[in-house]
Chains A and B, each alone.
Chain A
Amino acid sequence: MSFALDKDFEDVEPVDYTQWEGQPCSIMYSEEYVSTMGILMRLMAGEEYSERALWLTEQGIGLLASHYSIWLYRYDILRSMYSEDEKRLEEELDWLEEIALANQKNYQIWNYRQLIIGLFKQYNYQREFPILAAMLDSDLKNHHVWTYRKWFVEQFDLFDNEREVQFIQQLIETDVRNNSAWSHLFYLMFEKGDSHVKNQIEYVKEKIALSPQNVSAWNYLIGIYDKFKLDITELKDFCLLYVDPEVTSSMAVELLAQIYTSSKETEKAISLYNELGDTYDPIRKNYWDYKISLIKA
């Protein structure tokens, strides 16, 4: 349904945006912005839930997608008018996908999407895969999209969903330094227990071989050991692959120093921390010195 700003809202007294002029940080609004928002803010204040109000929120979002109040107002309208009409809600999600693709950095969209999905009695979650793939395709590390994806997995219990796991592993194949993908994989693999521990240790070791200086993969490996209270001294030989005869990974040196610390081989640990500070990782010298002071204390 379409409306005209000059005809269909004649009864609405627009909010006077000029009243903000002259105050600190006042914005020189465009005429289009003021005429649309002026009416929209008035309808919102009066809590009008109508077809024309719904149309107007779309115009407002078109002008400023990060305007949180408009999203919340739109949700209230939709819920009051269409909460039983799943066909209309599907259309809403279609529309939302277009807006999301045009506003990559916006996060209100994802909170709103959760609210809309919450209105369905039974939601076909398969629908989410294409839009999430498209969003990550243009920004692999979009924090809002990843947070939404975590909610999605939790909401629909997709921990063992093959499509989800494969998609994430594919992202890691493409860019083994994509830390967002590693973080999500950690959640998928280990939230429900320890059944994936062995295969994931092998998996991440292979990935470290591709890029020995990749902190994401080392953190994943150490994260597994910490979460399941495994013995890190098991990793000594693996670390040595990247330390001896040539140091190809400062992360390996760091982990090795930690292993020596826990096995009470303090001299070896101290000398590795010194090498990190002097040679392999000088930016963190203060921290390596602190680690040495802890050993000596």
Chain B
Amino acid sequence: MAKDINKNKIDYLLRLLGKSHLMEEDFEDFHQIYYTILRTMTRKAPIQMDVYESETTRAQQKVEEAIRSIYLDVEIDLMTVTTTNCGGSKASTDVIFPPLDVAKHENYCRMCLSSPLPGAFIGLDGNQCWMMYWLSNGHGMLKGVEGLPADISEGISAKISLFVIDEGRNGISSGPFQKGHVASVYAAVLALIAIGDFKTLTNARKGLYDFFYKMKQKDGSFSMTVNGESDARSTYCVVVLSYLLNILDDKLVDHKTLQWLDLCQTYEGGFGGVPNTEAHGGYTYCALAAYYVLLGKEGSTPKEFLTSLRAHIDVDKLLSWLVHRQHLLEGSFDGRTNKLVDACYSFWVGACFAMLEATLEITTLFNRESLKLYMIHCAQGIEMGGFRDKPGKQADFYHTNYSLCGVSVLEHYFTLERNGSWANSFTTEIVDDTNVNTNPVNPIFGLPILQVSACVKYFSANV
């Protein structure tokens, strides 16, 4: 079925031109660049897919068909613009890379923060702080958008204050009467930093140190809560939070934490959640970002930092694993070998690229244009705003935030200029100044660079 639809589209495209084949010469120079990007993605795979069929290949084909169909629509629109002479380069740019619908995404984040959520959201009752982080930070990533209205940001501060348990000594929970949990602390602290409320955090800082210390495991990792799981994610959370709150010391996090993280790198090059599990984009992000904090004072140039990073992990294998996350047709990243693409990996995997590009001093190591096509045409929610995992799914808060952070990665080039810790030393340059929709993201934290440096400044002065 889907194949027929695609064939019809191509036929239409060709009839439009009165031709039986499309040639690259059919485009003016300017348009040809865009056409080539799209065509590289949508044409038949350069190597005939092997004939092997399984659940994996069937799931992959289904996604490819849906996405090829979307990109063929873009091709048709591009052809229409170029052949009817009704637009110059601007018109065709707008077909292939139209600006994000910033106003709709702004509205989505603000409305979801301020209106009561229907009963279907009960599934997120244990993620109250997460919802506030995803939406306030998604909002803050949008370029040229004013801050959240005071009643909303005050509401966020007030709600999080209620979740702080025993001045932080038992953590921060994520819902009424729930237990303290490292991931909830992470979401709560990031939500407060996103809205620029450092005061609420001041009272909880010392208590949180005690809470984190209680979570420390013999092997150097940290657990989410008493009797909770400990993995690269919980460990990352403790590491970055103690950095942001300026409570990181050798007693809390020592060489054992680094040694434990080292063990999480797998034979594929990415990192698993715990040693000897499958490499996964989310855990790879957590582990790599943690090194930028833990080795934050090592060396004075990116090169020297790279040397100390290489003493812990195999950077070349990691990079090789990361580049293989990008799919040719879809343009976006999967999270594991032989899995389907998903928009949230635009940040989990994209941020790893931002870190490594800056460290290896290479402008770009992945294909930014292809990822951009996916984010605009496949992930962006058209009607209500927000972003979704992939076509056929609904937009949600989680994917909205990480997609916007991911778009920020692809809209900027990253470099490191040592300024205190490496984690706070990212500088950026805009890739295409005619089309930029997001503020520069700090890849270590999933927050705007400006908010991170404001936070670091605040807690170095107010201790």
Name A residues whose Cβ lies closer than 8 Å to a Cβ of B: 15, 17, 19-30, 33, 37, 41-42, 44-45, 63-64, 66-69, 72-73, 75, 107, 111, 115, 140-141, 143, 146-147, 150-151, 154, 174-180, 183-184, 186-187, 191, 210-216, 219-220, 222-224, 226-227, 247-250, 279-287, 290
Contacts and interface: CB of A to CB of B under 8 A. Distances in A.
Interface of B: 40-41, 46-50, 52, 54-57, 112-114, 116-119, 121-126, 128, 131-132, 135, 152, 155-156, 158-159, 173, 175-179, 181, 224-229, 231, 266-268, 272-274, 276-280, 317, 319, 323-324, 326-328, 331, 336-339, 362, 364-367, 370
A250 B122 contact: no
Contacts of A115: 227
Contacts of B181: 68-69
A33 B46 contact: no
Contacts of B328: 281-283
A280 B46 contact: yes
B337 A216 contact: yes
Which 3 residue pairs across A and B have the least CB separation, nearest first? A223-B267, A211-B52, A41-B177
Given A211-B52, A286-B366, A150 B117 contact: no
B132 A214 contact: no
B156 A24 contact: yes
B171 to A, nearest CB: 11
A287 B274 contact: no
A245 B48 CA distance: 14
Given A211-B50, A280-B46, 19 more contacts: A24-B114, A24-B155, A24-B159, A26-B117, A69-B126, A69-B179, A72-B225, A72-B228, A73-B179, A147-B277, A176-B52, A214-B50, A227-B267, A250-B47, A283-B331, A284-B326, A285-B367, A286-B364, A287-B365
B125 A27 contact: yes
Nearest to A75: B227
A283 B229 CA distance: 37
A54 B55 CA distance: 40
A232 to B, nearest CB: 13
B339 A141 contact: yes
A213 B337 contact: no
A105 to B, nearest CB: 10
Contacts of B339: 141, 179
A22 B158 CA distance: 11
A20 B331 CA distance: 42
A64 B125 contact: yes
Q: Which of B55, B173, B227 has the most CB of A within 10 A?
A: B227
A186 B267 contact: yes
B47 A215 contact: no
A213 B48 CA distance: 9
B338 A178 contact: yes
A19 B158 CA distance: 12
A250 B175 CA distance: 49
Given A33-B122, A147-B277, A280-B47, A140 B55 contact: yes
A21 B123 CA distance: 17
Contacts of B114: 24
Given A64-B125, A67-B126, A211-B50, A24 B326 contact: no
A15 B54 contact: no
B158 A23 contact: yes
B324 A215 contact: yes
Contacts of B56: 175, 177-178
B367 A284 contact: yes
A178 B331 CA distance: 22
12 contacts: A23-B159, A26-B117, A27-B124, A69-B126, A178-B54, A187-B276, A214-B50, A223-B268, A226-B267, A282-B40, A283-B370, A286-B367
Contact of B126 (A64, A111, A147, A213): A64
Given A17-B176, A219-B267, A219-B337, A25 B112 contact: yes
B276 A215 contact: no
Given A25-B131, A290-B362, A67 B125 contact: yes
Contact of A25 (B135, B266, B276): B135
A121 to B, nearest CB: 19
Contact of A179 (B124, B225, B317, B338): B338
A179 B337 contact: yes
Contacts of B278: 143, 146, 179-180, 183-184
A37 B125 CA distance: 11
A99 B121 CA distance: 21
